[in-house]
């Protein structure tokens, strides 16, 4: 979610601090896994909001230029294009896409973690997939 290992470590550290400080608040209304995951997701969202506020310049438009597909793509090139497509998503769509696609969480579990309706999550995932597909088509990968 944070796009870098260093930022992920910072978010993980903040998450662990919150867990330790609030362990007595765990009421067992949900599973321990869901409670921990929700704290981690909330910390990630807080981090992303702070970083977005701190950014003063827009992304370099040259990063979004079409690339020539050439003769063939290496795995590394495909991964880079996919990463760029995912990073271009709005925060909520990126989070939902990552949880669903990479973490393989179900919509009900994501609903509990993100405190959002299943319908809203399905819509966010659908829009994220469409945006990623559109991005991949612009660089002639499909």
Burial zone of 67 (CB within 10 Å; 0-12 exposed, 13-18 middle, 19+ buried): middle
Name residues whose C-beta falls within 8 Å of residue 90's C-beta, 6 or more positions apart in sequence.
Answer: none
Of the listed ranges 2-16, 38-52, 63-77, the one predicted with least confidence: 63-77
CATH number of this structure's domain 66-142: 1.10.10.10
pTM here is: 0.59
For the chain, give every domain's residue range. Answer: 1-57, 66-142
Nearest alpha-carbon partner for 129 in 105, 104, 98, 103 = 98
Residue 141: pLDDT over 90: no
Tell me the C-alpha to C-alpha distance, in Å, between residue 35 and each of 5, 18, 123. Answer: 23, 11, 24
Residue 121, SS3 per DSSP: helix
The CATH number of 1-57 is which of 1.10.8.60, 3.10.20.740, 1.10.1740.10, 3.40.50.720?
1.10.1740.10
Q: What is the mean pLDDT of residues 83-108?
A: 90
Residue 71: pLDDT over 50: no
Q: What is the mean pLDDT of residues 90-107?
A: 90
Nearest alpha-carbon partner for 139 in 82, 94, 97 = 82
Residue 82: predicted pLDDT: 86
Residue 67: predicted pLDDT: 43
Q: What is the mean pLDDT of residues 63-72?
A: 44
List, for residues 17-66, the tens digit of each pLDDT value: 999 998 888 888 888 888 898 899 888 888 887 876 765 344 444 444 44
Q: Do domains 1-57 and 66-142 have the same CATH topology?
A: no
Residue 88: predicted pLDDT: 92
CA–CA distance, 48 with 2 (Å, rounded to integer): 7
Name residues whose C-beta falls within 8 Å of residue 84's C-beta, 6 or more positions apart in sequence.
Answer: 63, 135
Alpha helices in 23-98 (DSSP H): 32-54, 75-87, 91-97
Residue 61, SS3 per DSSP: helix
């Amino acid at each position: 979610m944070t796009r870098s290992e260093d930022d992920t470590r910072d978010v993980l550290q903040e998450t662990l601090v919150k867990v330790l400080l609030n362990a007595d608040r765990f009421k067992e209304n949900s599973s321990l896994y869901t409670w921990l995951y929700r704290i981690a997701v909330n910390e990630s969202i807080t981090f992303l909001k702070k970083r977005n506020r701190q950014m003063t310049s827009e992304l370099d438009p040259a990063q979004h230029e079409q690339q020539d597909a050439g003769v063939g793509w290496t795995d590394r090139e495909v991964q880079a294009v996919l990463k760029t497509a995912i990073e271009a998503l709005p925060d909520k769509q990126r989070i939902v896409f990552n949880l669903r696609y990479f973490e393989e969480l179900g919509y009900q579990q994501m609903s509990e973690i993100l405190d959002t309706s299943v319908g809203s999550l399905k819509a966010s995932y659908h829009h994220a997939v469409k945006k990623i597909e559109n991005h991949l088509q612009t660089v002639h990968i499909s």
